[in-house]
A and B are shown apart, each in its own frame.
Chain A
C-alpha cells in the first residue's frame, strides 16, 4: 500500500478530526514491571501486545499471512535466501525527533543480538547464531544477511520484537529499556508512552505526527490509551462489566459467561504451539514410547478442555495450532481418548504390577512421572492438571506435580531433571519447532535427539517455497503424533471484551488488538 499523502505535520486523525477521548484497556500485565517493558529482550507476549502501539515494523503481516509494506516500502530476498534488502520510507521520524533510517535499523538489530542484551526471543527471531549482520547501503536502503538461508525472517520482522527504538535512546538510556518509561520507550508508532506507573498503568498518547500506519493510517482518533495493569482476572471481569475499562483483554474463558451481553467479545486463538506437555524421554519412564503413547491416550483431553474452558478454547491435536500457517488438519482425531488402549500399551510395556495405592508397578517401581511447572500457574491450568492427574490415576499412572518459582524451575530445567513440563508458545511461523525439537534447541524440553528431526527443522528454516515448506512441517507434525514427544492439549486464545462505545478495533495475527482505526464515543 504505502502512503500517498505526505504527513502534513499537523494533527489530524484518519478521518480528519483531532484525536480525542480516552480508552481504558485492562490487561493482566503483572510481569511488565519485572523488566519486561522491552520487546527486544522480553519473551513475554504481553510486552509485544502493549508495546505494539509504540513500535512499528519493517513489514506488516496481513490476516492471510501475506506481507505488505510498512516502514519498508519495498524489499527483496536474494536467490539463496540469505540476504534481505529493504527500501525504507524516508518520511518516518521517531517521536523524539530522530530520523528513522538505515542506520537506525542496523543499530536496533545489532543491539538485539549483542550478547550483553541477553535477549531471549527477539535474538532467536533474528536468526540467533545464523544472523550474519546488517549493512547500511544508503540512508534508505539496508540489507540483513544470514549465514544460512532463513525463511521466517519476514514474519519475524513484522513483529514488535524486531521493532525500532530511537537511536538516541539506544545510546543514552540503554540500561533503562527493560524497566521502560517515558523518554525511554521511544519508537515511531502511533502512540507515545507518556506516563508509566509500574504495576499500575501505562498511558499512551496519540502521536500527532503519525502518518505511516500499515495501511497508511495517520494519527489515531483515540487521544489517550490508558492501559490498566490488573493481574486479577476476576477484577478485570468486573472492570469490563462495570464499564470501568472499555476494553479488557486476557479474560479467563470461564468469565465469558459472566460478561454483560452488550459487550463485544473477541476470541482470537493464538497461533503457534498449543499449550502442551513435554515428555522428557531421556530421564525416566518416558524413555519408552509405549508409555508416552499410553500417557497421551489416557487423558480425556476433550472433556477436560471443553468443561474447564467453558467451550471457549479448542482442544489441540498437533504441535502447530490450527491458526498457524502449515497446520496439518489430518492429525485431528488420530489420538482420541482411549483408556483401554492405554492400559494395553502399559501392559505391553511391562507395567503390570499394582501397588497399595492402585498404581502400576514394574520391578517394584511405581509408574510415576514428575511434572514441574513454574509459578504463577493460572487457575484453569491447575484444574486441567487436576483432571489429567485424576484421569491417569484411573489407568494406574501416577503424576506428581511441583509448582516451582522461576529460579527453582531453572535449576531443574537446566539439567532436565523432570519427566514432564508444560507451556504454550505463540508464534506465527512454524520455525519455532526448531527450538523445541532440534537436539540443541533451547526449548527442547522433551530432549528429542533425532538426526532426521534435526534435518527436517533445518530444512524448514531454509526453504522459501511455501509448498515445499508445508510438506516439511506436515512431516514434523506427523512425526510427533507418532513419537509423542509433545502432548498438545488446547489452543489458547486471547479473549477481549470491548464496550459498545468502542469501534474500529482490529486484531493482528496473534489476536492482539490494534488501535489504528479505533475510535470511542
Chain B
C-alpha cells in the first residue's frame, strides 16, 4: 500500500521534472540568469520561493531551469549508453569464446578505473562544458552496460528456449535476434532506469568541480558549488538544488527497482 503510494509519488515527481525540463516557463516567469545585486542572498519568501543566490538570482527559477540540463544529460547519456552497450555486449557475448575473452579484457580495463575518474579524464581530453560532460558520462557508463549485456547474452543464450528454437532448424542469428536480444534489451532498460540516478550524480559531481556547464548556466551541481561558501548564512542556496538532485535520483531508482522486480519476476 505504502509502496504503491510511494511509487505514484515518485512517478508524479518525475513527470513534473520532465515538464520542467520541457517547459520551465510554466513553473516560473523569473529569469534564471538575471542577476540583481540589490537582492542578494534573500531567504525564501513569496517573491523568491527558494530565496536568491550570491548574484541575486532566483534560486527557484534556477532549480526549475536546471532540470533540463541535469535530466537531459542524465537521460540522454543513459539512452545512448544503453543502446551502444546492449548492442556491443550482445555482439561480444555472441562471439566465439576467444574473441569474447579478449574484448572483455578491454572492457574490464574500463571498469577497473572508477566511473567518475573515467568521466574526469574524458573531460580532461575534451575540455569542460555541458556537451563534453554528456559525452564523458556516457563513455564512463558504457562499459558497465556492455558487461551486463554480455553477461545476460551468455546467460540467456544458455537458456533452453534458445536451444529449443535452434532445434526447430532456425538459423543461429535469427534465434539470437528473436530470443536473446529483446530479453537482453529489456533487462538492461530496467538497469538503465536505475542508472539514470548515477549519471545525474556524475553530472552534478562534474558540475560541482567546475568542469560542467559553466556559469551562469543553471546546473544543479554548479549551484551547489556556488552556494558552499555561503553555507553558514544562506542554507537555501545549496539546500534546494541538493534536494532536487536527491529527489530525482531517488525517484528514478524507485521506479527502476519496481520495474526490475516486475521484469525479473517473469523469469
- Give the residue of A233, A383, A403 whose beta carbon is less than 8 angstroms from that of B54: A383
Q: A375 at the A/B interface (Cβ < 8 Å)? A: yes
Distance between Cα atoms of A474 and B129 in the complex (Å): 43
Considering only residues 236-261 of chain A, those with a C-beta below 8 Å from chain B are 237, 252, 254-255, 257-258
Distance between Cα atoms of A391 and B210 in the complex (Å): 24
- Give the residue of A254, A300, A390, A401 whose beta carbon is less than 8 angstroms from that of B229: A254
Q: B260 at the A/B interface (Cβ < 8 Å)? A: no
Residues of A within 8 A of B56 (CB): 307, 387
Nearest CB of A to B39, in Å:
9
The reply to whether B33 and A389 form a contact with Cβ atoms under 8 Å apart is yes
Distance between Cα atoms of A252 and B230 in the complex (Å): 10
The reply to whether B232 and A258 form a contact with Cβ atoms under 8 Å apart is yes
Considering only residues 142-187 of chain A, those with a C-beta below 8 Å from chain B are none
- Give the residue of A308, A379, A386 whose beta carbon is less than 8 angstroms from that of B33: A386
The reply to whether A303 and B210 form a contact with Cβ atoms under 8 Å apart is no
Distance between Cα atoms of A382 and B216 in the complex (Å): 8
The reply to whether B127 and A308 form a contact with Cβ atoms under 8 Å apart is no
Q: B186 at the A/B interface (Cβ < 8 Å)? A: no
The reply to whether B216 and A386 form a contact with Cβ atoms under 8 Å apart is yes
The reply to whether B233 and A258 form a contact with Cβ atoms under 8 Å apart is yes
Most buried by B among A233, A383, A385: A383
The reply to whether A389 and B216 form a contact with Cβ atoms under 8 Å apart is yes
- Give the residue of B37, B57, B214 whose beta carbon is less than 8 angstroms from that of A304: B37
With known contacts A234-B231, A307-B38, A403-B128, A386–B214 Cβ distance under 8 A: no
Residues of B within 8 A of A307 (CB): 37-38, 40, 56
Interface residues on B, range: 20 to 34
The reply to whether A234 and B228 form a contact with Cβ atoms under 8 Å apart is yes
- What 1/0 mask marks residues of chain A from 193 to 221 whose CB sits below 8 Å from any chain B CB? 00000000000000000000000000000
- What 1/0 mask marks residues of chain B from 11 to 34 whose CB sits below 8 Å from any chain A CB? 000000000000000000000011
Q: Is the interface of A mostly helix, strand, loop or mixed?
A: helix
Residues of B within 8 A of A257 (CB): 233
Residues of A within 8 A of B128 (CB): 375, 403-405
Q: B215 at the A/B interface (Cβ < 8 Å)? A: yes
The reply to whether B127 and A386 form a contact with Cβ atoms under 8 Å apart is no
- Give the residue of B34, B36, B210, B229 whose beta carbon is less than 8 angstroms from that of A252: B229
Distance between Cα atoms of A389 and B228 in the complex (Å): 22
- Give the residue of B36, B55, B127, B231 whose beta carbon is less than 8 angstroms from that of A382: B55
Residues of A within 8 A of B231 (CB): 234
Residues of A within 8 A of B216 (CB): 382, 385-386, 389, 401
Distance between Cα atoms of A379 and B128 in the complex (Å): 18
The reply to whether A386 and B210 form a contact with Cβ atoms under 8 Å apart is no
The reply to whether A377 and B35 form a contact with Cβ atoms under 8 Å apart is no
With known contacts A234-B231, A386-B55, A403–B215 Cβ distance under 8 A: yes
Distance between Cα atoms of A237 and B38 in the complex (Å): 24
Residues of A within 8 A of B230 (CB): 234, 254
Nearest CB of A to B105, in Å:
32
Distance between Cα atoms of A405 and B233 in the complex (Å): 30
Distance between Cα atoms of A255 and B55 in the complex (Å): 16
The reply to whether B215 and A401 form a contact with Cβ atoms under 8 Å apart is yes
Distance between Cα atoms of A405 and B214 in the complex (Å): 11
The reply to whether B35 and A386 form a contact with Cβ atoms under 8 Å apart is yes
The reply to whether B36 and A390 form a contact with Cβ atoms under 8 Å apart is yes
- Give the residue of A252, A308, A382, A402 whose beta carbon is less than 8 angstroms from that of B226: A382
Most buried by B among A234, A376, A386, A405: A386
- Chain A residue with minimal CB distance to B41? A254
Residues of A within 8 A of B228 (CB): 232, 234
- Chain A residue with minimal CB distance to B210? A375
The reply to whether B229 and A234 form a contact with Cβ atoms under 8 Å apart is yes
Residues of A within 8 A of B232 (CB): 234, 237, 258
The count of A-to-B residue pairs whose CB atoms sit within 8 angstroms is: 82
Residues of B within 8 A of A380 (CB): 54
- Give the residue of B35, B54, B210, B214 whose beta carbon is less than 8 angstroms from that of A390: B35
Residues of B within 8 A of A408 (CB): 127
Residues of B within 8 A of A377 (CB): 210, 215
Residues of B within 8 A of A232 (CB): 228-229
Most buried by B among A376, A377, A379, A380: A379
The reply to whether B229 and A379 form a contact with Cβ atoms under 8 Å apart is yes
Considering only residues 251-265 of chain B, those with a C-beta below 8 Å from chain A are none
Nearest CB of A to B116, in Å:
18
Considering only residues 298-356 of chain A, those with a C-beta below 8 Å from chain B are 300, 303-304, 307-308
With known contacts A234-B229, A254-B230, A387–B37 Cβ distance under 8 A: yes
Distance between Cα atoms of A237 and B233 in the complex (Å): 12
Nearest CB of A to B124, in Å:
9
Distance between Cα atoms of A382 and B229 in the complex (Å): 12
Nearest CB of B to A379, in Å:
5
- Chain A residue with minimal CB distance to B129? A402
Nearest CB of A to B87, in Å:
34
Nearest CB of B to A188, in Å:
39
- Chain B residue with minimal CB distance to A302? B37
Most buried by A among B36, B40, B229, B232: B229
Most buried by A among B210, B214, B228, B232: B214
- Chain B residue with minimal CB distance to A388? B35
Distance between Cα atoms of A401 and B228 in the complex (Å): 22
Nearest CB of B to A255, in Å:
8
The reply to whether B37 and A233 form a contact with Cβ atoms under 8 Å apart is no
Distance between Cα atoms of A25 and B127 in the complex (Å): 35
Distance between Cα atoms of A255 and B229 in the complex (Å): 9
Nearest CB of A to B32, in Å:
11
Distance between Cα atoms of A486 and B94 in the complex (Å): 64
Distance between Cα atoms of A254 and B229 in the complex (Å): 9
With known contacts A258-B232, A383-B35, A308–B214 Cβ distance under 8 A: no
Considering only residues 201-223 of chain B, those with a C-beta below 8 Å from chain A are 210, 214-216
Task: List, sorted by A's number, 17 A–B pairs whose CB atoms are closer than 8 Å.
Answer: A252-B229, A307-B38, A307-B56, A308-B54, A375-B128, A382-B55, A383-B54, A386-B35, A389-B33, A389-B35, A393-B34, A401-B214, A403-B128, A403-B210, A404-B127, A405-B127, A405-B128
Listed from nearest, the 6 A-B pairs whose CB atoms lie closest are A386-B55, A386-B35, A390-B35, A383-B55, A403-B214, A307-B37
Binding site for B on A (CB under 8 A): 232-234, 237, 252, 254-255, 257-258, 300, 303-304, 307-308, 375-377, 379-380, 382-383, 385-387, 389-390, 393, 401-405, 408
Q: A377-B210, A379-B229 are in contact. List 19 more A-B contacts (CB 8 A).
A: A233-B229, A254-B54, A255-B229, A257-B233, A258-B233, A300-B37, A308-B37, A308-B40, A377-B215, A379-B226, A382-B226, A383-B40, A385-B215, A387-B55, A389-B216, A390-B33, A403-B128, A404-B127, A404-B128
